[in-house]
Amino acid sequence: MKLRFGVFVASVACLAGLAVVPAQAQFGGFLKNAVKDAATKEAMKAAGFEGLDPTNPDSYKAYLKGKVTDKVSGEFSKMLSKEDVETQSASVRDTIYSGESTSWSNPDTGASGENKVVKESTKEKKEKITVMKDKVEEIPPLNLIGMNYEALETTAVRGGPGTDYKEVDQLEAGEVINVIGKVQESDWYMVSAGGAASGYVHSALLMEAFDKSITDTTVPEGKTKKVKTKVSKTCKEVEQAVTGEDSKTKVEKLKVCQSPNGWEVT
């Protein structure tokens, strides 16, 4: 294909206001020019976002892993060994991604954990989407997904959510891309390349491939624009019930929300 697809970045905050805006807005603002702007990199580092690459979706998975591990460690480190902290963190992430309850136990330490989604809500808001000007013809309302998907067969990437739109690129069978979201009331996914929306693929031609990595392409400067559209995002509250080596149980909650790049700890 002409381009490989990467993760999309929606910038919702400016660097000058980072100290007074919510964490999600900070996240978007930090990512706006993270690769090119050294000052932004320093700001990301100071706020705990060091190492994020807006063209590499795998860095967002690492971000979530780090944030969840930090939360689990801060809440349960006095109860769990380092190994059990990692196990609990992985279990929490499984619950976040799947929405299903998960559990684990370690017979060597006697520790165990149970995780479940106790609250789920959906929010709708207007958000600016960065798109490739010469490829994307339309930006309809989206249900955010922010996950890697694999092409089931060679298929066209189109400029809009329908076969009547022109073909702007092509995916090979087995190729892994990032899906920004699903077009509302439609069976089409918006996909991204190098940080910008780059077209649409029918949902029947893609399957989830979270554990697979993407080879990214940087979008040429001047080839993108920002378009505001309505998005729907899901937030989850995960309850963690952890039993330590002393057989005492502690319950804590963790909240995450969807973004075009994946799940973010809020």
- pLDDT band for 232, please (50, 70, 90 cuts): very high
* Nearest in space to 198 (alpha carbons), one of 5, 37, 9: 5
The residue range of the domain holding 164 is 122-234
Residues 64 and 115 in one domain: yes
What pTM was estimated for this model as a whole? 0.67
**Other beta carbons less than 10 A from residue 189's beta carbon:** 24
Residues 116 and 245 in one domain: yes
| Domain presence at residue 80 | yes
The pLDDT of residue 68 is above 80 = yes
**Which residues make beta-bridge pairs with 233?**
123
Segment 125-153 mean pLDDT: 92
**Other beta carbons less than 10 A from residue 14's beta carbon:** 12
Please enumerate in sequence order all residues whose Cβ is within 8 A of that of 112, keeping only pairs 6 or more positions apart, or say none.
103, 104, 105, 106, 242, 243
Residues 229 and 133 in one domain: yes
| Domain presence at residue 215 | yes
The pLDDT of residue 185 is above 70 = yes
Residues 59 and 110 in one domain: yes
Domain count, the chain: 2
Q: What average pLDDT does the chain have? A: 80
Higher pLDDT, 135 or 31: 135
